[in-house]
Chain A
Amino acid sequence: MSQTVTIDSSNHLKSLVLERFGHEPDDLVQQRLSAAEQYFTLDWPRLERTPLKKRRLDDIPIFSAPLQPKPVAPSDHALIEIRLDNNYLTHCIVPDALKQKGLILEPLQQAIERSAVRKLLGTLTGKITDRIGALNQALWHNGVFLSVPANLNEPIEVSIGHHATDEVRALIMRNLIVVGPHSRLVVTERLITEASANKMLLSEATEIIVQDGGQVEFGAIQQCASHVEGFIRRIGQIHQDAVLDWNIGEFGSSLAVSGHESHLAQPGATTRSTTVFFGSSQQHQDYTAKSLHQAPHTTSNMIARGVMKDRARSIFTGLTQIDQGARGSDGRQKEETLMLSDESRADAIPSLVIDERDVYAAHAASAGPVDRGAIFYLTSRGLSEEDAIRLIVHGFLAPVIDRIPHIGLRDEVWAAVERKIRE
């Protein structure tokens, strides 16, 4: 069993931080200590539509010591793979040829020994504004540093796996990804946990920097068990003529407060995002996607489709913000929800904040039921009602799931959808 630690003051938390992370470079330890100070003064995030009080997050023993996992065999997801179990590195495979070209993939804990990495860490996540932010900065333990050198024309494919066994009470991690000019990267993150009777807190903060002309496909699939309370924040900074694509599948955990943010920081930057979510039983999903146009001639296109069944509740907030001076920018959003149950609830808030005249911005949102006519047609052709609904869900999600360019991830998303339909 894991050792349970109760922490009741910032001094107590600080001594825990020193005990666990005191060996790290000084500036980082100072950062952790200042975050520990804020942990007790800041509250849990205040979310308009997701009350956190009743979820008793304070009762989760998040300060318990991480557990050493058993070794696991490498998967066949990609040639380059890093896997972390219960906050510890289990393996990290990088072909020598790529190592020689300058590709770096390692646990972030190891990478922060270099001051250049420490300098980049936290530049996108910014100031801590709530207890989750403080917790993450004070106690992050695992995560990945990935650096792709400039001018690698062949797309690099990387798989990141985060796993947790049923004994783990908190998974607190940070990822930092830097892609050099004109290089291409396809990275896929998988979050998987074993089921447990005890609540687990998941906190992820990921920063992605795509330098001039770089092209990145960031894929993520979250299939945590129903004891997980998840907080995921991913931010990308996109430089001149660079592209960042997000392909996100949100399926698991009991609470998922999750989101991605694209900072279109330099002219010609582009982002496309595809989010697929599927809520069932009593799941609560609060997803936020943001496209921030900070430079001229930037484009964003955000697409989300969700299916809601049972008593699930979803909130999808989209924000397209075009700053003054971001001339010739184009920002679009489209959100659609298919409702399978009368007990489920879906809110959509697709907002536009436009401070520049010479732009095009548009959003569309819709929610609708399963077409009874289609069900009648299909059942009259001999399909069971269940199969008919399954076909309709497939038809609804296919246009977005098939946008996911990475075939492996696409198949995994389809498999997750299948599982949710049968659930």
Chain B
Amino acid sequence: MASKPLISDEYQYGFNDGDVGVLKFARGLRRETVEEISRIKQEPQWMLDFRLHALDVFFKKPMPQWGGKLDTLNFDDIVYYVRPSENQGKTWEDVPQAIKDTFERLGIPEAERKFLAGVSAQYESEVVYHSIRDDLKDKGIIFTDTDSALREYPEIFREYFGTVIPPEDNKFAALNSAVWSGGSFVYIPKGVHSDIPLQAYFRINSENMGQFERTLIIAEEDSFGHYVEGCTAPIYSSESLHSAVVEILVKDRARMRYTTVQNWAPNVYNLVTKRAVAHSDATMEWVDGNIGSKLTMKYPSVYLVGEGAKGMVLSIAVAGKGQHQDTGAKMIHVAPNTTSTIVSKSISQHGGKTTYRGLVHFAPEARQSKANVKCDTLLMDDDSTSDTIPYSEVSNANVEMEHEATVTKVSEEALFYLTSRGLSDEEATRMIILGFIEPFTRELPMEFAVEMNRLIKFEMEGAIG
């Protein structure tokens, strides 16, 4: 039976604003491109050296031979830097009208009206709007864009930048290190709790644009913070590249949560390196939603380096037509009494493909440590596929590792039960799907849970299967 898609494949943020950039680089990547970015940003010499070294690493490293198909990604076709406005807006009124219109349509100022702790919006390569609530500023929390942080807090910046993810880590981390621009810098001082999420929004507008934001978060001892980001882009016929690096340090007894709802247009390559280091009794939580993009390769990881550290990854991936979500998580246990939890929920539909690729590693030092991994996949139709590839490495006799995974269709028994109670097929299917992803949506802040509900639209008519 012909049916409307269960989860809307239509991308709602696919409009573009024309070319609003005031400065746009030529396509392609050369040494001069990197030097020019650094010059425009008036960076110190050490950062230029860092970028140029990273560029060498990028050129030397081969393309990854695993994961998704990267063959249509042409590095010479990408614009590596686009500056959308002369200055960063401090208040909403300062932002150029064209960009403001975009963000209005995306609901950014609305979010601020809802009293989010801070909002940062990145358009193309630069952060165009930034605001932080005064009471948080008074507590000493720093929430700014990464470029400003390099100028205004050079000591903290240099101490931590590139320490969690060095350029040598992988080809795309090297690329980001060479051409990074924008991103968020968050510093939460010792003992400070930020009760309300800090929010960032990333948008690509130009065709063949590469966005390379770089986020650095430092949570000092006994602190608590929650950072939330969202992403969109217009649909063009040719591909764009989003290659971010996110580094997080969670010091002793601190707790950090990082929430992403990634909804890039279906022509964006989303190749992101996200990693956190958790010290003694610290807790790091990644809440990761992947709905958009053509191909996402992203495996948020936690290095549990201090005794008693905890790591969690809670992720959901939805792959529709032409999409491949190659996502997962990595937990590296290198200290005693560390624990980690991975919960991954995937939905494949309309020929989409989801891959869970994860690693749990126990070093010899990780005595009395535990890991628990659970991956579940729902296949909605006959054209969709799913792979589950979990790696576990145990080099220690005093750890407990558990892994479980299932791949199923929507249960016919459950459908039968619900429809026999008077629900229509669509209502029943929607209820089953919502139940399937509930462990994820329950962890989202309210605004994002609403956003998720909008993204996952259930417009289905008739029975499935």
Contact = CB atoms under 8 A, between A and B. Distances in A.
B431 interface: no
B387 A367 contact: no
A156 interface: no
Contact of B382 (A337, A341, A356): A356
Interface in B362-397: 364, 377, 379-382, 384-397
Contacts of A365: 390, 392, 401-403
B387 A340 contact: no
Contact of A355 (B364, B385, B389, B405): B385
Contacts of B402: 364-366
Nearest to B353: A355
A344 B392 contact: no
Contacts of B384: 357
A49 B393 CA distance: 11
A342 B181 CA distance: 45
Contacts of A363: 388, 403-405
Contact of A347 (B388, B393, B398, B406): B393
A337 B364 CA distance: 16
Interface residues of B, number: 33
A361 B385 contact: no
B399 interface: yes
B195 interface: no
B465 interface: yes
A30 to B, nearest CB: 34
Contacts of B364: 342-343
Contacts of A344: 395, 397
A350 B390 contact: yes
B334 to A, nearest CB: 14
B26 to A, nearest CB: 40
Nearest to B387: A353
Given A351-B390, A357-B465, A339 B396 contact: yes
A186 interface: no
B403 A348 contact: yes
- The DSSP consensus for interface residues of chain A is strand
A354 B390 contact: no
A52 B400 CA distance: 30
A368 B401 contact: yes
Nearest to B406: A362
Nearest to B382: A357
Contacts of B196: none
Nearest to B464: A357
Given A339-B394, A356-B382, A366 B401 contact: yes
B407 interface: yes
A392 to B, nearest CB: 12
Contacts of B399: 339, 367-369
Nearest to B372: A366
Interface string A352-395: 11111111111111111110000000000000000000000000
Contacts of B379: 354, 356-357, 359
A358 B409 contact: yes
Given A352-B405, A356-B382, A360-B408, A342 B398 contact: yes
Contact of A349 (B392, B395, B397): B392
Interface string A312-335: 000000000000100000000000
A363 B403 CA distance: 8
A352 B404 CA distance: 11
B397 A361 contact: no
A288 to B, nearest CB: 14
Contacts of B382: 324, 356-358
Nearest to B371: A367
A348 B392 contact: yes
B395 A354 contact: no
Residue among A353, A364, A367, A369 facing the most chain B CB atoms (10 A cut-off): A367
A357 B405 CA distance: 16
B39 to A, nearest CB: 43
B409 A369 contact: no
A124 to B, nearest CB: 24
Nearest to B392: A348
Contacts of B392: 347-349, 365, 367
A351 B397 contact: no
A345 B399 CA distance: 12
A346 interface: yes
Nearest to A350: B390
Nearest to B361: A347
A365 B393 CA distance: 11
Contacts of A358: 382, 409, 465
A364 B405 contact: yes
A351 B392 CA distance: 11
A369 B400 contact: yes
A346 B397 CA distance: 10
Contact of A361 (B396, B403, B408): B408
A345 B401 contact: no
Pairs A-B, 10 closest by C-beta atoms: A345-B395, A339-B397, A357-B379, A352-B388, A361-B407, A365-B403, A367-B394, A362-B406, A351-B389, A367-B401
Interface of A: 324, 337, 339-370
25 contacts: A324-B385, A342-B364, A342-B396, A345-B393, A346-B394, A347-B392, A348-B392, A348-B403, A351-B390, A353-B385, A353-B387, A354-B377, A357-B382, A357-B409, A360-B407, A361-B406, A362-B405, A363-B404, A363-B405, A364-B403, A365-B390, A365-B402, A366-B403, A367-B392, A370-B397
